[in-house]
Amino acid sequence: DTHCKLKGCDQGFHNYLYYSNTLLTLKGVKEVIEFEQGKGIINNLGVLRSKPLREWGLLNDENVVLNWDGSVSAVAHQFDRDDELNTHLKEVRKVYEDEFKTKKSTGADDSKLQFASPAPKGTHVIMQPTFGKHRSHVDAIFGLAEGYDIRIYLLFIESLIKTGFNGDLVLSVSALDSLKNGVEDYLRSHHKEENEDGLNVVVYTVTWTCYNSDGTVADGANEGVRKCELVDMYGNDTDNRAIKDPREARPVATARFELYWAWSQYYDKHNWIMLIDTRDTHFQLNPFATIDHQEDKDIDEGLLYFFAENAQESNIGKSSFNSRWLREAYGAEKVQSFFDRPIICSGSTMGQQIAMEPYLRAMVAQFDDTHCKLK
């Protein structure tokens, strides 16, 4: 165990699980498919900073983000790293804001590895949605969206709606009395019943106990800088009474995978789930439209899709953050062979539920094993 103490290790965990081939040993995971940057459903733009996206040929005259082959990227992730695209999407966001104001004014292989359940023995998840209900038969998108004003929600959700996505959007947001003006009403307006079509928003108001560096209780996570504990996530099997968080305080970016694990259990095993950052993501096409959904319900393994950063601009060894996360969590000897490999982004992942659930167990287990809290 390394017991590293900084925030951000979730990306280190993600890359370690992939490059160590641990995921291929998990029951439920048939295959992990890595998509090079600009060649998959999600286009990670973060490291393309040496020149504007337009000069890379990845932004067309209509300000649409493209893949390297000229096709439209379904999901543009980390769009705020490019000044021109960020400025354009601020204007798009203003259109959504105006539209919103108008609407508001008018109305089975046992030989494979299985990580333990994140729930301690003798307990189960008792956290329930604050509003909205999961629809087990649809695809779903999970995200952490705490502390944002309505403009962030509008760009994310309205761009998703325009793609024709008909699944669930499951979000962790601030406590209702802490939400910015208009956010609760807007999110509630996108509720759908079990058999209704359209985007259905499911909201969890997760309570965190966060700490300052001196160990005193703090007010909020400070955009992920502080370490936090989950409140009332698990309860005893005997009386359903909530227990104290079984894990030490850790970054919210790490703890979110525990939330995602709990949410994943609501969905049928061959439906697809996307994990995506909400603040810097813009949808251009339905990300699930081209996926071949599994028809044989008797097959007990599925696919994971991982999405890389641009390998020409950076790799794990060139990135001081990514290399540090891996060294601190696992030790240099275990991870040195990964350093010439592309960075796999932990903020953009897709998979069938049957493969996503064990992946999320594995992510939680990495923190349990390493206690890594790096940023």
Mean pLDDT of 354-372: 96
pLDDT at 145: 95
pLDDT at 226: 85
**Residue 30 confidence (pLDDT) above 80:** yes
State pTM to two decimals: 0.93
Mean pLDDT of 54-83: 97
Tell me the pLDDT tens digit for each residue of 179-234.
999 999 999 999 999 989 999 999 999 999 999 989 999 988 876 678 999 999 99
Tell me the pLDDT tens digit for each residue of 127-180.
999 999 999 999 999 999 998 999 999 999 999 999 999 999 999 998 999 999
pLDDT at 236: 97
Which carries the bigger pLDDT value, residue 88 or residue 225? 88
pLDDT at 98: 87
pLDDT at 111: 63
On average, the pLDDT of the chain sits at 92
Conformation bin of residue 70: beta by default, left when phi > 0, alpha when psi is -120 to 50: left
pLDDT at 217: 95
What gap in Å lies between CA 323 and CA 317, rounded to an integer? Answer: 6
pLDDT at 8: 67
pLDDT at 106: 55
Tell me the pLDDT tens digit for each residue of 236-255.
999 999 999 999 999 999 99
pLDDT at 108: 46
pLDDT at 104: 61
Confidence tier at 59 by pLDDT (50, 70, 90) = very high
Tell me the pLDDT tens digit for each residue of 289-347.
999 887 777 889 999 999 999 999 999 999 999 999 999 999 999 999 999 999 999 99
